[in-house]
Amino acid sequence: MSDQVDVVVLGGGSGGYAAALRAAQLGLSVTLIEKGKLGGTCLHRGCIPTKAILHAAEVADSARHSARFGVHTRLDRIDAKEIVTYADSVVSRLYKGLTGLVKSRRITVVADEGRVERAPDGQIAVRVGDDLIVGRATVLATGSAPKSIPGVEIDGTRVLTSEHALRLETLPAKALVLGGGVIGVEFASAWTSLGVEVTVVEALPRLLPGEEPEISAALERALRKRGMNIRTSSGVEQVVVTDEGVTLHLADQSTVSGELVLVAVGRGPVSAGLGYEDAGVVLERGLVRVDEQLQTSVDDVYAVGDLVSGPQLAHRGFAHGIYVAEQIAHQLARLDRAPVPVRDRDLAKITYSDPEVASVGLTEEAAREAYGEIETLTYDLAGNGRSQILKTQGFVKLIRQTDGPVVGVHLIGSRVSELIAEAQLITGWDAFPADVAGLIHPHPTQAEALGEAHLALAGKPLHAHS
């Protein structure tokens, strides 16, 4: 049996369901194939449950430190099982909303595993059981999965991935985190707030190596002040697992031990065994090779999200999915104007630790390479009233092309994740410091810090030394 539709989407995560929703909105017939639950990693095993746990950790810290605000309370206990239940309830509500939305758009959802192959007439199709589903266009959106390191066996008990860590119903007294990227730092931060003694081991010289060096340094100071043990420039030579726990043997001949270890060394694309290469789709280290329009080496076959080289962000998947749906609709004469391709430099990045880290645009090093002459400015949150009320430390760093627009914004401090959207508009619209300086930011807000920083960079500082 063979069915034909306008668009076949393989994978129902952020990129896949965004493509399906937008394509259906544009009047295209869509079949979405997903072997698990709609929403994929982000909704069920990533972004959403992780941030729910981080919020629970923030509540624990608020109770623990409430006396400094004149509110005397007591943190009786932390129940990891109840935290998981809370996170599950958030996921459940969002999942219900998503499934209802997909149903309302009349998208055909096939709850099964699909594999790409060539139909008898040579067309690209997706096989699901005995059925071949042929689309005028096909979108590959099978996402990514946690990676490990050679010689380390993930057992889900002593050696965990982030997916296992989200389901812990009993917290360890001591835990190791292998990897100082976003996932590792977020779990390390949450566990520290929940009373776990945490050691982070990172092979590179600093945490969050993709962020500004000053941001990494400030983050490490803050995490150490909270009691976290951080070992950077520390390669792992051996992982020894016993009934009692885990010991990491490091390259400098030292060891660190804990009841369990979270392996947070990144995620790899889910592309093996799905027929991509047999159908002519070129892979490079498991990633799908695409052009600027996200089209693969096969005509009318697109790839989105974590299958494509670049930052692994759910909102990048959303943007890719929307773009590809509009590109397909344009090719099928359902949309007059071709969409604008997604640029990775326009995407904001956030690490939801305590303190939070957020950035968009270029780093100082990348800006110097791109433009040569640049200017930078750092504004300390000590001068921001709302930040003082929240008792947070941190700063805003701006990077501009000399006599040109702002090309990078980097922040660290409590709740700075809520500031990055404005920063994204600034860099995305090529705003000059004077453009932002002319906007009146409400007082007292943390958003004022962005306004103050741009005032200073425009040469007219208010609450900052000139």
Is 408 one of the annotated binding-site residues? Answer: no
Is 277 one of the annotated binding-site residues? Answer: no
Is 157 one of the annotated binding-site residues? Answer: no
Is 184 one of the annotated binding-site residues? Answer: yes
Is 179 one of the annotated binding-site residues? Answer: yes
Nearest Cα neighbor of 341 from 363, 318, 324, 354 is: 324
DSSP state of 36: S
The C-alpha R_g of the chain, in whole angstroms, comes to 24
From the candidates 164, 443, 463, 465, give the one annotated as an active-site residue. 443
Is 143 one of the annotated binding-site residues? Answer: yes
205 to each of 42, 276, 298, how far by Cα in Å?
29, 37, 41
Is 142 one of the annotated binding-site residues? Answer: yes
Residue indicated by tokens 């060096």:
213
Query: Rounded distance, CA 345 to CA 362, Å?
Result: 7
Nearest Cα neighbor of 144 from 49, 46, 237, 63 is: 46
67 to each of 61, 70, 195, how far by Cα in Å?
11, 5, 18
Is 183 one of the annotated binding-site residues? Answer: yes
Residue 443 among the catalytic residues: yes
Query: Rounded distance, CA 18 to CA 328, Å?
Result: 13
Query: Rounded distance, CA 231 to CA 252, Å?
Result: 11
Is 185 one of the annotated binding-site residues? Answer: yes
Contact 350, 420 (CB under 8 A): yes
Is 271 one of the annotated binding-site residues? Answer: no
Is 51 one of the annotated binding-site residues? Answer: yes
Is 430 one of the annotated binding-site residues? Answer: no
281 to each of 120, 180, 287, 303, how far by Cα in Å?
18, 33, 10, 10
Binding residue numbers for NAD(+): 179-186, 202, 266
Which residue ranges are tagged as binding site for FAD? 51, 114, 142-144, 306
Per the annotation, binding residues are: 51, 114, 142-144, 179-186, 202, 266, 306
Residues designated catalytic? 443
